[in-house]
Homo-oligomer: A and B are copies of this chain.
């Protein structure tokens, strides 16, 4: 249920509605909009009677929200959410590129790649310090030392940092070091981690799970938002497909479909979807043309020696060519 207030509703009237919701045992979530405030009712186990609110002063409408998600939905908030970073905004027609290696391997490696992607026009550096790996025997990342290298990259290049947290411990550290905290596909339904990500005070990039529906993905974003963090950025990275021509099956229809359902921005990771270098550029172009708010691209200066996912990393020159190419696909809206 969404209680929509008059344009001229007073703070006291809003407070009264919040108090009424609370007295019923539910959670009230005021959502200030451009011209009026709405108040979402959360944690109600079943339908709420609109009559309870319609005769309160300052209330114009009580809208039953038919979707299982609330805070993430356009029904609750019509305006596009903008992710605000130091010197950079994501969403609402702006476009952003996050590029770098799958894993941070050394300061030299990270800085070499960071300088290349910065020169080509990227605004954020991506690189994993904590790597979720199918095998316990695979390289699991540099951990905290990797985060320190990422901080150095930001200091030296001015690129902002996005990197993944995989559990409670890494979340606290990553939130300290990164500008955007990534929650990976395998953690999309790690609900405790999502709730904690609601309290870190940093934007969260939430990847779609390996075979998650849009509804499940948006519900996971709802977990983060319901704990008080409205800065959620969705990332389409493909779902499990068939055959072996690509690692995953990039679902670009999710871009317009998410935009219809939600106000949250959405970026695309063509590298994990492709799994092989020669597919990355066509898929990156396609994502831009379909209306993505940004891209997350793997770049490595020496992919043959990369500790993970080298086969899908672009060479710096390929990345630079792609960046030039993308300009022609978005003549107006470049960030």
Q: Which residues of A contact B (CB under 8 A)?
A: 42-45, 68-70, 132-137, 139, 166-169, 186-187, 189-193, 195, 209-211, 213-216, 219, 222-223, 226, 239-246, 249-257, 260, 273-274, 278-279, 282-283, 285-291, 328-329, 331
6 further A-B contacts with Cβ under 8 Å, apart from A213-B244, A245-B257, A253-B274, are A134-B215, A136-B222, A246-B257, A253-B279, A260-B278, A283-B290
Q: How far is the CA of A252 from the CA of B329 in the complex (A)?
A: 17
Q: Which residue in chain B gives the minimum CB-CB distance to A191?
A: B132
Assess whether A282 is in contact with B273, with CB atoms less than 8 Å apart: no
Residues in B with CB closer than 8 Å to A286 are: 252, 286-287, 289-290
Residues in B with CB closer than 8 Å to A215 are: 134, 243
Q: Which of B134, B260, B279 contacts A219 (CB 8 A)?
A: B134
Q: How far is the CA of A290 from the CA of B195 in the complex (A)?
A: 37
The 4 closest A-B pairs by CB, nearest first: A213-B243, A289-B289, A211-B211, A167-B192
21 contacts across the A-B interface (CB closer than 8 A): A42-B137, A69-B135, A133-B191, A136-B191, A136-B223, A168-B192, A169-B192, A186-B191, A210-B211, A211-B240, A211-B242, A245-B253, A246-B251, A252-B286, A253-B283, A255-B282, A256-B282, A260-B278, A282-B290, A285-B290, A328-B328
Q: How many copies does the complex hold?
A: 4
Assess whether B288 is in contact with A282, with CB atoms less than 8 Å apart: no
Q: Which of B43, B186, B219 contacts A189 (CB 8 A)?
A: B186
Q: Which of B219, B239, B291 contacts A135 (CB 8 A)?
A: B219
Q: How far is the CA of A329 from the CA of B279 in the complex (A)?
A: 18
Assess whether B329 is in contact with A134, with CB atoms less than 8 Å apart: no
Query: Given the interface contacts A249-B251, A279-B257, does A68 sit within 8 Å of B167 by beta carbon?
Result: no
Q: How far is the CA of A291 from the CA of B290 in the complex (A)?
A: 13
Assess whether A252 is in contact with B191, with CB atoms less than 8 Å apart: no
Residues in B with CB closer than 8 Å to A245 are: 213-214, 253-254, 257
Residues in B with CB closer than 8 Å to A331 are: 328
Q: How far is the CA of A240 from the CA of B211 in the complex (A)?
A: 8
Q: Which residue in chain B gives the minimum CB-CB distance to A251?
A: B249
Q: How far is the CA of A190 from the CA of B187 in the complex (A)?
A: 7
Q: Which of B168, B243, B282 contacts A168 (CB 8 A)?
A: B168
Residue of A191, A210, A246, A285 with most chain B CB atoms under a 10 A cut-off: A191
Query: Given the interface contacts A167-B192, A242-B239, A282-B290, does A252 sit within 8 Å of B252 by beta carbon?
Result: yes
Residues in B with CB closer than 8 Å to A70 are: 137
Q: How far is the CA of A234 from the CA of B34 in the complex (A)?
A: 49
Q: How far is the CA of A189 from the CA of B68 in the complex (A)?
A: 25
Report the minimum CB–CB distance from A306 to chain B (whole Å): 14
Report the minimum CB–CB distance from A85 to chain B (whole Å): 26
Query: Given the interface contacts A189-B186, A253-B273, does A226 sit within 8 Å of B136 by beta carbon?
Result: yes
Report the minimum CB–CB distance from A242 to chain B (whole Å): 6
